[in-house]
Amino acid sequence: MKLNNLVIQHITGLFSKNCGIPLLLFSISFMKTVGFLLFIFSLNLYAQNAEIQLALNSKHAHDVTLETSDKTYTIATLGTDPYLFTNALKTQLDKQNTKLAFEYFCPQGLDFIEVHFYPMRKNLKPKLVKDVGATEGWVSFTIDLEKALTKWGAKGDFLRLDFGSVPGVNLQIRNLVLRPQTLREAELEKNKEEKLQKEALLHKNLHSYLNKTYPNHIRHVAVGPKKIQITGDLVVSKNVYLAEVSPYEHLTEMHSFEFLTPIKTDQKEFEITVKRSIKRHGFKQDRVLSKWVLVQKNNKGAYEPISHARYADTIAPKYTYPFIKPATKKGLGGYSANRKSPISDLDDLGISSVTVNILIASFFRHDPAPQNIPFEYMGKTYYVNRKLIENYDKTFRTTSERNIEVSAILLVDKASKAKDPKIGKLLQHPDCDPAGIYSMPNLTTPEGIQYYAAVLDFIAARYSRPDKKYGRIHHYIIHNEVDVGWVWTNAGTKSDLVYMDLYHKSMRISYNIARKYNVNSKVFISLTHYWNWTSNPKFYLSKTILEQLLQFSKAEGDFDWAIAHHPYPESLFEPKTWLDKKVSFSFDSELITFKNLEVLDAWVKKPEVLYKGKTKRLVYLSENGTNAMSYSDQDLKEQAAGMAYAMKKLNFLDGIDGFQYHNWQDNRKEGGLRIGLRKFPDDEKDPGGIKPVWKVYQAFGTDKENAVFDPYKSIIGIENWEDIHYKETIKTQNNTLQLNN
């Protein structure tokens, strides 16, 4: 196996520097015989040894407070020039340690981080990194210091870290190190420019394709148990074919196709039937996942699209049972029967719906083992971990017993976090950056699609049974907060349209597989409270990607997708959402929070947003809550007041169909937030105790609502709940939509 230059460089450095063995004794030919895995191991070992741990100290700190607990630094900015210093280097820094790396948690985000090098030297300028985005999970962050290391890195040298220019920011940092570039980082750097150029062309072609008007149409795709029927209309009359496009292919970049069948061109209308399954690339593929397009053969023998492609319009379901709307709008986010909170809360709070996180790569397995359960998909056997699946069974049984609607949040662990390395590698998107918490699924290869489809089919089949043997899943939230995909659904650096092309494919795959079993299943796009603004250039505008999803739906056949929105207050720490500033009652609002929910309510009712132009799409506020800064009486009252405000807003808005509260209980891993209905389970004074916000949520939608809610009007600064409802016209640049009064 051929070793790349990076591996050779690191390995030869390892032996020559650390072992004292002459480098010439270790020829490349010898290294090849040792085996690639040994070198990977050696490289990782070397990288770990070379890594330098850094420590922050409060000495000479400016405009900032610093607390240290369990190897985590909690930083609060007090003024416009907050900075801290690291301890001095104890030894000379190895010049391969070019990366200053750490993990951070910061719901507000920083306008910049600046690294200053001490002692100060002539022509050694600080390193500035702008727009350090907001994140509500622990995200990896890396700053390249390579240019500075020619003049900095001696024993006794140290750094100053400037944390933006905004007071009142809460930031947590852990694992602060100086380290070498990793193999994964090197992989992503390789051919980076070439890939960016290809994706720039893909973006251009996608834009042209989505905005193009074709005279020819595929009108309907009906998927039956064994056959697929495709009907359409033709204007052209020469060299016309029906072509199949698999999910791992880009139609706009194709000039040849895996499947083609000629169409009789003497007809203005056509009908073609094909087999539902086909064997290729070593798999028996279910063509329910494919889309179909009309192409014409040109003089050079290449095939050009002469219509938009179309996905399945109807799919014959295995089971038929009625759609049952939840009894109330009240739900719970991130539910699991295996948490420490009492399951009786489902009854005591009157919960009608929940979301449940499903980490696909956590239970999926590549090989047979006594602890694994086999299952079949398209003639091939796959495996899942028995214990982990039974944990999910327990959760879904507790909800199905109560007729609680379940929306499963489908998450894909990065390969480095997956329980099975083979599965992790198969499912992770090849461009996933280490900074992300989760990955976009690998939709780029036949194998990646097949494994992704297999595990989704397992989930849908197991949790759609009429007898509810294992419980029930009703809907699927496709990944998490995809407008900030860099954090929660990472596919590397992508333009918004290229990213949405990937995400749209994932939605279609999930939707078509779910509909094989349940004709009522919907898929949700998951979005943060950012709407027409972001805190990071790597993020996307929610408004823009929703508009792009509408474009895909219009071009390739509409499907019953819904919206899972997270309208937290502007600052997750501040429960007084009525003070939010980055909001307006306009379709161009920067954020959509509890304060201006009327904007989302109005947007989803716009004619061009309706499903097939007729039906309002489902909108769940699937992850929301208000924070308590501490457990003081006043802070707990303000948290409850924020939730009373949000719940009363909901009463005025019939475009919002559900609300799933996050979090059930306070979580130590949420960066200092106390956003739960219950206190920390390990709280010294009142472990897992009920907070006032719990009682507010319990009263919502009951005859006790006003009695519980009204005392909080004084905190909000209102006399009547009607005062919080915006009744004027929601405006945009091109049209207006009048809300119901």
Tens digits of per-residue pLDDT, 120-175?
988 899 999 987 878 888 889 999 999 999 899 999 999 999 999 999 898 999 99
- Band (pLDDT 50/70/90 cuts) for residue 734 is low
Euclidean distance between CA atoms 569 and 594, whole angstroms: 6
Specify the pLDDT at position 340. 86
pLDDT at position 472 over 60: yes
pLDDT at position 41 over 80: no
Specify the pLDDT at position 49. 52
Specify the pLDDT at position 134. 80
Q: Is the peptide bond before 663 cis (omega within 30 degrees of 0)?
A: yes
pLDDT at position 35 over 60: no
Domain boundaries, the chain: 5-50, 52-187, 214-315, 330-737
Opening angle at CA 613, ends 607 and 616, nearest 5:
70
Euclidean distance between CA atoms 76 and 172, whole angstroms: 9
Specify the pLDDT at position 107. 81
Q: Where are the beta strands (DSSP E) in 254-379?
A: 260-262, 269-275, 277-280, 283-286, 291-297, 303-305, 314-315, 330-332, 353-359, 364-365, 372-377
Per the prediction, the chain carries an average pLDDT of: 91
Please check whether the domain covering 330-737 is classified as CATH 3.20.20.80.
Answer: yes
Q: Alpha carbon 232 to chain centroid distance?
A: 36
Specify the pLDDT at position 603. 98
296-330 confidence digits (pLDDT tens): 999 888 999 999 999 999 999 999 988 889 999 99
For residues 682-705, give the mean pLDDT.
97
Write down the CATH number for the domain with range 214-315: 2.60.40
Tell me which H or E stretch contains 249: none
Euclidean distance between CA atoms 597 and 646, whole angstroms: 9
Torsional sign, CA 257, 262, 265, 271: negative
Q: What is the DSSP string of 441-504?
A: B--SSHHHHHHHHHHHHHHHHHT--TT-BTB---EEEESS-GGGHHHHSB-SS--HHHHHHHHH
pLDDT at position 52 over 60: yes
Cα–Cα distance list, 354 to 620, 701, 712 (Å): 11, 17, 27
- Band (pLDDT 50/70/90 cuts) for residue 449 is very high
Specify the pLDDT at position 529. 96
May I ask the CATH class of domain 52-187? mainly beta
pLDDT at position 180 over 60: yes
For residues 257-271, give the mean pLDDT.
89
- Sequence-distant (6+) residues with CB within 8 A of 645 are 577, 578, 594, 712, 716, 724
Question: What's 14's DSSP letter?
Answer: I
pLDDT at position 11 over 50: no
Return the percentage of the chain with pLDDT > 70, whole number.
92
Euclidean distance between CA atoms 30 and 602, whole angstroms: 69
Largest CA distance in the chain: 85
Residue at 231: amino acid letter: T
Torsional sign, CA 488, 491, 495, 498: negative
Among 132-141, 240-249, 565-574, where is mean pLDDT lowest? Answer: 132-141
Among 263-267, 363-367, 500-504, where is mean pLDDT lowest? Answer: 263-267
Cα–Cα distance list, 617 to 358, 646, 654 (Å): 24, 21, 12
Phi-psi domain of 203 (left: phi exceeds 0; alpha: psi -120 through 50; beta: other): alpha
**pTM, entire model:** 0.89
